[in-house]
Structure 1
């Protein structure tokens, strides 16, 4: 009963913080939110360039930059639409050790929008590397992904596009495609490899550590 009572008090505090936000959010939803488990609906062809879709894309752009992330899907900001964005900037690549860049085949990816994307596997070889997600905050696990894929869909201008991604960019694309199908990397991870990404800090701080769900 104590847990339930404390839970109710916590929810009461949240409810007093103001009006409930309306999607598309400026934050990333977390595992447990039902939106992450829904298969997203395609964007109707005649709505690809309308104001609603443009708003979603602009918010995805804002959030992926805010979190310094490599990709972001519509359900992660509360929208049940088949849209995702991805990027890997030169500044982000520069923060990665050269040996990791070579090993994981990391390359710069310009900001890219996919609406109603489909995925085709080009290279069925699977590679295993640690993977994280802004919707599974502060955890990481080993995940096997195909080495090369092709993504087809529409860009923000409503033009048909087709891109091939290899190495780490292929991993990003597959990760975001999974989101559109209601899947998380935790569904396909090596379960024994799951770890808290800040476990050392927890020990060093004697457990007195706060994990922010939005960037400082």
Structure 2
């Protein structure tokens, strides 16, 4: 559960309600790189919103994420400095044997998420961000993590995540600390999505990209 003595922050709750009312067809605009809110340490969520507002916020974040489309969305990406994010991804038959180890990752609202590595193995793949749209870069991340979070009802969760779901969780959790994936990416790997599709998408492991663009895996 969230803090036993938690109280709704009336002013913040009203601000969030106004934000939600500004959504068009339930979808909010996504904050782009360069806006200060993306570089702030988020405030831990401890019951500052009413249950009604929190559930409506999560529903709107989910719809905004799917509309983008994306597999994760963090509070700062809609201009909200609270440690709340949503994640969801689905595997299909074409993903069998994919070295990125894409796997089913059902919808979760992750509140106050943290993670720690479960082992020392890492993998480097291209990834992107809705706040840095149109580009991707290679980012090294832990292959396995222990993920910890609360859901919208305050229930605590801990789970071992592997492969692509682990990458998604790390990416969204990092947002809540003011970090963008590009901060620790291989900068020489940076490419437009169009060039990624034309030159590098056929090989999920960016071996050839590393050779021709001049970065190390």
TM-score interval, normalised by the smaller of the two chains: 0.7 to 0.9
Equivalent residue runs for 1:14-33 within 5 Å: 23=19, 26-33=28-35
Name the residue aligned to 2:92: 94
The change in CA–CA distance for 1:50 and 1:97 in structure 2 (over 3 A counts) is closer
Structure 2 unaligned blocks of 5 or more:
1-17, 199-217
Equivalent residue runs for 1:59-208 within 5 Å: 59-89=60-90, 93-94=91-92, 96-100=94-98, 103-199=99-195
The change in CA–CA distance for 1:48 and 1:187 in structure 2 (over 3 A counts) is same
Separation (CA, whole Å) in 2 of partners of 1:82 and 1:96: 34
Separation (CA, whole Å) in 1 of partners of 2:137 and 2:56: 33
Count of residue correspondences: 175
Name the residue aligned to 1:4: none
Name the residue aligned to 2:9: none
Bigger drift between 166-175 and 63-72 goes to: 63-72
Using the size of structure 2 for normalisation, the TM-score is: 0.74
Where 2:141 maps in the other structure, the secondary structure is: strand
Q: Is the 8 Å Cα contact of residues 95 and 101 (structure 2) preserved in structure 1?
A: no
Separation (CA, whole Å) in 2 of partners of 1:106 and 1:196: 22
What's the CA shift for 1:200?
8.2
Where 1:87 maps in the other structure, the secondary structure is: strand
The change in CA–CA distance for 1:28 and 1:164 in structure 2 (over 3 A counts) is same
Bigger drift between 23-32 and 53-62 goes to: 23-32
Q: Is the 8 Å Cα contact of residues 56 and 74 (structure 1) preserved in structure 2?
A: no
What's the CA shift for 1:60?
1.1
Where 2:58 maps in the other structure, the secondary structure is: helix
The change in CA–CA distance for 1:59 and 1:196 in structure 2 (over 3 A counts) is same
CA RMSD of aligned residues (A): 2.1
What's the CA shift for 1:50?
2.2
Using the size of structure 1 for normalisation, the TM-score is: 0.74
Q: Is the 8 Å Cα contact of residues 114 and 153 (structure 1) preserved in structure 2?
A: yes
What's the CA shift for 1:77?
1.0
Q: Is the 8 Å Cα contact of residues 104 and 168 (structure 1) preserved in structure 2?
A: yes
Name the residue aligned to 1:40: 42
Structure 1 unaligned blocks of 5 or more:
1-21, 203-216
